[in-house]
Amino acid sequence: MNPFSLEGRRALVTGANTGIGQAIALSLAGQGARVTCAGRRDCDETLGLIRDAGGEAEGLILDFADPMAAADIFAGAGYSILVNNAGIIRRDDSLDFTEADWDAVMDVNLKALFFTAQAFARACLADGQTPAAIVNIASLLSFQGGIRVPSYTASKHGVAGLTKILANEWAAKGINVNAIAPGYIATNNTQALRDDPERSKAILDRIPAGRWGDPQDIGGTAAFLASPAARYIHGAVLNVDGGWLAR
């Protein structure tokens, strides 16, 4: 048996309409999973790419401005892989940061992640869908402070912590819970940084790999963590950052 195969598995990827989420959905489908591509907007482009490659996928509208948006979608549906990728960011000086921007980011990035994972795990255990895997998308700012993104930094520190506590509670129940901490990846979320010549140069000068990451760099890692090859990995926060944190 191929330990990297996801044949016969059903996966849900949140925020799958673009960027990292799209790359993860494509990678899971490429290993044989049937992928539900969820987003607050349609994921038609992602669905087309998967189907053109011979994969199986369907779309689902989920807006995690309501942190409980996914509470009722797992029971009896046969999912055994969940990738919590959906996230937002707000930028402003900490002196000027608003309560509205704080709450919006925390609701999507942290509260929704927890309650989506909870609903998924409950369904897996009730329906006998184990072994199962949860992959959370953390960040380099799970370890560092960053600049002008206080709610994002707090939420991503929280993602790392939740990954560990859920692994502690669910590992013995047959559910692997791990996280990926992407480095500086060329996506919509980093467009402002890449458009700032000074910030972009400072970032590239520190990355040993010498380039911004590609979303596919995260996609392959997620497919690995969801596979039987990672069955003894629990509570890890895996840096995929071109060597940034090693610098």
Any idea which residues carry the catalytic annotation? Answer: 152
Secondary structure (DSSP) of 82-143: EEE---------TTT--HHHHHHHHIIIIIHHHHHHHHHHHHHHHHT--SEEEEEE--GGGT
- CA dist 62 and 206 (Å) reads 36
Structure tokens at 65: 């401005």
Helix (H, G, I), strand (E, B) or coil at 2: coil
CA-nearest of 30, 16, 98 to 59 is 16
Instruction: Please report the sign of the dihedral spanned by the C-alpha atoms of residue 151, residue 157, residue 161, residue 167.
Output: positive
Q: Residue for token digits 């929280």?
A: 158
Query: Residue 168: how many CA atoms within 13 Å on its side-chain side?
Result: 6
Q: Where are the beta strands (DSSP E) in 9-115?
A: 10-14, 34-39, 56-61, 81-84
Q: Which residues contact 214 (CB under 8 A, 6 or more apart)?
A: 23, 185, 186
Question: Residue 203 is which amino acid?
Answer: I
Instruction: Report strand pairing: 34-39 vs 81-84.
Output: unpaired
Judge contact between 37 and 58, C-beta under 8 A: yes
